[in-house]
Structure 1
């Protein structure tokens, strides 16, 4: 048998196996590490990607639209910096606080770097002025990255909009210089609160706080920017408190802290496992081998991940945590069997032959089922999850290979004198009088004597778990990846209490694609205009050259067409005199009106519909604020009419709307208009500020939009589409959950078929799936009952439960079958099954579950989740195996053990007794 030959090779050439293991591991680590220091053809350095956007493939329609819409409206991801002063009666609106905020804004402008530079921030605060996307336009024209200074929203960078007399508006900086008195500081607050765009966004409605919005060219700069800001404000005096948050900051910070956590949590977990193994198996030199297998498996897998050019994503960062328990699992079975058998053989070589022969089939099939569970993740539509599943499966295979070869070789390298007195006292099958032995014997007797009670209790647990599963809430929020007292979580709570919201979502409104100009209809309308000119006593002959010009133009895009016609009319108007001038002026007005009909978002009826939409969405208690073109139009219209509050409305005509927009473009920040509407006025954008980044809250807003559109159909065929980070998180989680359900169902069937093939029995195959089914059901039932969100780590853990739960079942049933062959009946075999096999399963469950409890002390919530759920999965799988399977075997013993091989063995034993 090939397996026996491999084991015999390891036993005969242990040094060769150890050397090859060390050399291969070192080569893989070198291939992964060297490209980080020197260029190596065909190899890439380590790259880290903590962007949840990349949970979606680059060609995913939702993501493609998100990227296009950001470019269309010239939007960047935002770092939110809040300054709160609860001690001062005026909040931050006092002379000292606003001086500090002014200086902080000036410093923020410097946080940009040449695109290729990774060192120091720019010290010239004026350098980024005029910088747009990509960050270009430094003083030397170089491409820059970092904070887009021209788009910063801060008291010193936004306009105060005030009436300048009837029909005129004054635009002046809200705070061009720090105030010289507290009275001036209050004026800054009062002026800002009159402007809807700023009230609740820049200035809190309670007047205690200010929020700065720092657009950045790339999300992966947010940690660098936020760190620089924290360093700057560290020495601030006074009662001002600075909070920094936002999804980009959370995602990038998680990436940094993730590595720190990897370096602490995984070794701490392995140390705990190591100490428990030492306690169980008494020999330090012996229990080192599982640790080596686990570490080599994890290191080799991560090296292969890097060598293959894959990035280390949030998911792949957890690969070592998943591989290590699985790698140790088979090793514990070997050590446990070796511990029990060595005293009888007193020879490690012979003991290992027996142990490896006994365990080879169960370990092979547990490895294959575990690999199947993780490989099923490759069927999900989430690229990082696919990579995670594939490489964990590779790691499981490496661990199995090392377990089969390295552990026997390692034991052979131990001086036999160090094994003196090692092992379980007594013969195999003899009752164990230790606390664990007595407990397992009691479980064996109880479950086989009262199988019906066990079955009823199992059904009750399944019913409760089923109810819990119906209560599961699918939800995620990158901010909640941090503990409640983390700076980002604290900032999130404080700023969302004071402001409209730190979570950004955007709603793109798009008129149907420009279908061109119907020239026949336009020329017919021109003839109607000709009659109007005649009625007014103006020269109607001028209509003919205009008609001829219209006929000569290609009926392409409406915007281009009317630009050409408008330019023609303006030329004629400039050359006209007398009554002809008035006629051409009327025709110019007519052409402009026709052009504006194509500009959907200048139409008052469209803006009124948008205003209704805003009211409907902001009625959701998680929507703190919405800014849009409507607010710009209303604000400017009010100031054009002497600042009267009754003038805070949408004008009655498209021309009047156009006038407000032209007026706004005379401000210091005319580019802000294009964040809300495109220059052709056929697409608009609503900027929603949400106080919660939970996916279910975003979904509630999306549902509210759907309801509104059903009750209030959009004018002119306008379509609404979501984009922004908060929405992207909803999109990828929806795909992940659906993909995980499909992959789990598929892998469940694959494992079932493998179990049937292993045991050559449909019934035993089905029995082996019971602990898995109950473990998964129970764990997810508890998730629903305690109100824990079904998030990314929880979803992924189903794959781990598939492997671990089946592992115990395979070992239990395989050893039960062997015991029945030897003893002649299930009743006689029970005491043997609840000897060494049950001890191995129990040791496994205790060691692995306890080993991962240190993860609960991790500051990152996903690691806490992984720790508690791995422990729960392992314990539940072990308990389900040792309680449910013996009860089921008792009830079905005549069906399970009726195979001819059992009958033959029983007849042989009966003959020997006779």
Structure 2
């Protein structure tokens, strides 16, 4: 007997002990079924209660740990300059004479501006063409006032003001489009989505329901006001941080429920087709529902929030968690028809599939949990609570599902047996054909997979890591349509800020310091993604011009620091209130804000890299370089985290699962051989993404780790059964046919269930989830082909289980 054979004998003894242990679990659960049912009910009630405490949060707080350096820098920026979250309301009046400059339209905008300030919670300031701060020189004095403080009495007077406003660069592409056909209302927030719960709760008496928290309550009130009949005739386009975050929160809440219901319906239909019984449908689905409650309860215990990643959990657990139940049901049905005794069938079923289900659950948990090393908090949490859900589904499959199977008549039902047999005969014919195909064409199969594998590796070299915040929504999502329209006109839905530090209080008035800001601002304004740039430089230049009676030659930075300081002093003494948006209180730091279009993060990175090169080439000392801050910086950090998470997460998942396979199968050789059909579908999917130009974002980075964790399940069942049959027959071809007929049907059912479950994601309004569902479904389908074709061909060729009998 060779070393592998000795290893198999040793492992077989240990596996047999586990088989007997699961057999006793089945018998115990059957005998104490009411106690098991009561215990499960109590635990699930506790889980349901804990689940009610979990809230939704899709702000950047859900992606970054509190101690993350990038996140801490963002919070420090907020300490100095406040929240940079806004609602940006673009509007037009296409049917009115003079458009947005129509007297009646402008009166409505003035009323709307006041109402938004007075009635919308968590608002710091509201700015529009009706109340924008206007600086002008009048008879040697500097006058700072609201542009329409004295509302014009005639249309001609309003049109004259229109020309004044269009001559002010500071307003162009911010509050008014360059051609004057669109206007905008800028609603600045005093809070941010990352603030503590008690700070963003609107009505303390209404608890922490989504509708009572910022940004939801803010967004809902703005939308209610914009829909009022008194503003009829004005077409509004509402976007910005507030509506985008609110849309994420609401979609997360609605989609998780909707996708779960669709998943239950679709997978219930698949189970009904294969098992033709209410018990065969209800049992697995109840198991998954309870596992889901266990996951959410686990989240509540650790005070974790639901985020965009949570949308995937219900459909994911329905698809993955039902697999163990399917194997138990399949074996139960076979032996219930054979014995006609439920308890005996339950014990035999768990004897045969308990150990494989345990190992497959552990490998799936390992695949999911491998992503817990990700620096992205939402993914880290998802990795853990989804692994908990998979573990709960396994435990419930060998306990609570047994309770389901224990009820009913003692003897089999002949009519149902005939219907099931028809399905079984079709499956057996298909699986037998596959076995014969492997025997006859094993070399061709191996060559074909080798060619596909090499082409896929070439495609992986073309794979790009990227994300696009707005493209995460489906094209049919209203928020995406509105945001893309606004970005095509003016404004910019994403913010980047550069913070310049002069090193001394009042240092921002130094002309050399101001010129460094101006140089970067001019360079940034040339970038295609930048819609508008704001800084104190524009204000000082405008004040300087107006202080000199509107002379265009004075639209520049003053020559001396004393002159610049005097202009700012006069501005503040005249009632100016906008400096806080651009300067720190001691006038030591200044902020340059870039409002950018919603584009791929790689384009932001290119912009930042190019501006960084510009700064270095300008000759500035290292200590004089500005610090990149604001919300956009977190997107760039997220891009870097995606790359690290994908590479490290997959390596960890592959290494852990490969090690587990070697232990489970009792042989390093067989364990590594079994990883080939698990690695192949992942490589093929990533290769297809590379060839198709599909970028890897923070959702798709889960594909490799999740897919290998799921794909290995079928491999475990197939290899264990194949090896078991080889021990009986001592012939690889006969063992393959027996293994295919013995476990192939269950693998086919679970794969169909998984594919159907992940295809449910295609119905999501989140485009990134739809793409994820399609890609994982394709990976699972390829994994099934690899287990039915590639794995048998490898075994037939390499003969890893030992020598065949020659007799």
**TM-score, length-scaled by structure 1:** 0.80
Question: Are the structure 2 counterparts of residues 447 and 510 from structure 1 closer, same or farther at C-alpha, using a change threshold of 3 Å?
Answer: farther
Deviates more, 1:702-711 or 1:467-476: 467-476
2 CA distance for matches of 1:708 and 1:365? 56
What does 1:695-734 align with in structure 2 at a 5 Å threshold? Answer: 695-714=601-620, 717-734=623-640
What residue number does 2:185 align with?
212
What residue number does 1:387 align with?
381
What does 1:409-428 align with in structure 2 at a 5 Å threshold? Answer: 409-417=403-411, 419-423=413-417
The answer on 1:794 being equivalent to 2:700 is yes
What residue number does 2:129 align with?
155
Encode CA deviations 1:242-276: one digit per residue, 9 max, x unaligned: 11111332122211221111221102111110111
Which residues of structure 1 form unaligned runs of 5+?
A: 34-44, 114-145, 515-558, 560-598
Question: Are the structure 2 counterparts of residues 18 and 168 from structure 1 closer, same or farther at C-alpha, using a change threshold of 3 Å?
Answer: same
SS at match of 1:509: strand
What residue number does 1:651 align with?
558
Encode CA deviations 1:330-372: one digit per residue, 9 max, x unaligned: 1112222334444333333333333221212211111111111
Assess if the C-alpha contact under 8 Å between 2:681 and 2:783 holds in 1.
yes
Aligned length: 767
The answer on 1:756 being equivalent to 2:662 is yes
SS at match of 1:363: helix
SS at match of 2:699: helix
SS at match of 2:626: strand
Encode CA deviations 1:465-491: one digit per residue, 9 max, x unaligned: 223323333223433332223221122
What does 1:648-687 align with in structure 2 at a 5 Å threshold? Answer: 648-670=555-577, 672-687=578-593
**TM-score, length-scaled by structure 2:** 0.90
What residue number does 1:631 align with?
538
2 CA distance for matches of 1:310 and 1:488? 27
What residue number does 1:143 align with?
none
Assess if the C-alpha contact under 8 Å between 1:606 and 1:715 holds in 2.
no
2 CA distance for matches of 1:294 and 1:431? 25
What does 1:210-609 align with in structure 2 at a 5 Å threshold? Answer: 210-220=183-193, 221-234=214-227, 235=229, 239-417=233-411, 419-423=413-417, 433-434=425-426, 436-512=427-503, 599-609=506-516
Encode CA deviations 1:812-837: one digit per residue, 9 max, x unaligned: 11111112122221111222222231
What residue number does 2:156 align with?
183
What residue number does 1:127 align with?
none
Following superposition, the deviation at residue 73 of structure 1 comes to 2.4
SS at match of 1:97: helix
1 CA distance for matches of 2:562 and 2:377? 50
Encode CA deviations 1:131-164: one digit per residue, 9 max, x unaligned: xxxxxxxxxxxxxxx1113xx2212322222232
Question: Are the structure 2 counterparts of residues 188 and 780 from structure 1 closer, same or farther at C-alpha, using a change threshold of 3 Å?
Answer: farther
Following superposition, the deviation at residue 707 of structure 1 comes to 0.9
2:675 aligned to which of 765, 769, 793: 769
Assess if the C-alpha contact under 8 Å between 1:505 and 1:727 holds in 2.
yes
SS at match of 2:594: strand
SS at match of 1:669: coil
What residue number does 1:194 align with?
167
SS at match of 2:238: strand
What residue number does 1:109 align with?
117
Q: CA RMSD in A?
A: 2.5
Which residues of structure 2 form unaligned runs of 5+?
A: 1-19, 194-213
Assess if the C-alpha contact under 8 Å between 1:377 and 1:743 holds in 2.
yes
Encode CA deviations 1:148-199: one digit per residue, 9 max, x unaligned: 13xx22123222222324x543323112255544434433432222222211
1 CA distance for matches of 2:101 and 2:494? 25
The answer on 1:611 being equivalent to 2:611 is no
What residue number does 2:17 align with?
none
Assess if the C-alpha contact under 8 Å between 2:116 and 2:222 holds in 1.
yes
1 CA distance for matches of 2:423 and 2:112? 74
Question: Are the structure 2 counterparts of residues 677 and 311 from structure 1 closer, same or farther at C-alpha, using a change threshold of 3 Å?
Answer: same
SS at match of 1:687: strand
Assess if the C-alpha contact under 8 Å between 2:544 and 2:556 holds in 1.
yes
Encode CA deviations 1:45-101: one digit per residue, 9 max, x unaligned: 333322123311112222222122222124441111111234557332222221221
1 CA distance for matches of 2:623 and 2:712? 55
Following superposition, the deviation at residue 291 of structure 1 comes to 0.7
What residue number does 1:825 align with?
731
The answer on 1:782 being equivalent to 2:782 is no
SS at match of 1:790: coil
Question: Are the structure 2 counterparts of residues 91 and 475 from structure 1 closer, same or farther at C-alpha, using a change threshold of 3 Å?
Answer: farther
1 CA distance for matches of 2:709 and 2:782? 13
What does 1:75-94 align with in structure 2 at a 5 Å threshold? Answer: 75-88=83-96, 90-94=98-102
2 CA distance for matches of 1:756 and 1:842? 24
Question: Are the structure 2 counterparts of residues 198 and 375 from structure 1 closer, same or farther at C-alpha, using a change threshold of 3 Å?
Answer: same
SS at match of 1:81: strand
What residue number does 1:203 align with?
176
2 CA distance for matches of 1:697 and 1:88? 38
2 CA distance for matches of 1:412 and 1:688? 66
2 CA distance for matches of 1:421 and 1:777? 46
Higher Cα Rg: structure 1 or 2?
A: 1
Following superposition, the deviation at residue 611 of structure 1 comes to 1.8
